[in-house]
Amino acid sequence: MLYIYIKTQNALVQRINFNLDSQELPQNILWIDLLHPSAAEIAFISSEFNLEFPTKEEREEIELSAKYWEDNATITINAHFLVRDLKSDEEDRNLIKLRTEIVTFATAKNILFTIRYNEFSTFEEIQARILASPKNFEDGFDIIDKMFEVRVEKDAD
């Protein structure tokens, strides 16, 4: 699923559920959030913005060099987000299992691109902030800055 956040003429931010089959990309994009993206969605965004997103293997690399890289036009970050899975054992006791999920962040042309395969409260909070206070978000760099700020606050709690 592609969610696109755009800045409108009256300085509001609008969220669009983008469909590859029926739409052209809008103007004034701040953020493209690829949630559970298909290969076709990743290929479309890669082609439209001349981006090269990391493969699944590259995203899961342990080496620090695979976590952050930049060139003249883009910055790419692979960040680990903690996921809590609630499971029951044989005796119906609730157990919490922790695991990490990798989220890819990329910036190009002042747009933030995110690729993720899970829901995270950090994303929900940022989405709410963008829609409530659009003047605080001029470009994708403002969004990624606030996103990591919120994530650090949540991890500290």
Domain that holds residue 147: 2-156
The rounded mean pLDDT for the chain is: 86
Name the pTM for this structure: 0.86
Residue 122 in tokens:
């950090």
- Kindly state the percentage of the chain with pLDDT values over 70: 92
- CATH number of the domain bearing residue 14: 3.30.460.20
Q: What domain count does the chain have?
A: 1
Of residues 125 and 22, more confidently modeled: 125
What's the confidence (pLDDT) of residue 5?
A: 92
Q: Render pLDDT for 42-93 as a digit per residue (tens, 0 to 9).
A: 999 999 999 988 887 777 776 655 688 888 889 999 888 888 777 767 766 7
Q: Render pLDDT for 113-133 as a digit per residue (tens, 0 to 9).
A: 999 999 998 999 999 999 888
What's the confidence (pLDDT) of residue 104?
A: 94
- Return the amino acid letter for 118: N
What's the confidence (pLDDT) of residue 100?
A: 84
What's the confidence (pLDDT) of residue 105?
A: 95
Residue 38 binned pLDDT confidence (cut-offs 50, 70, 90):
very high
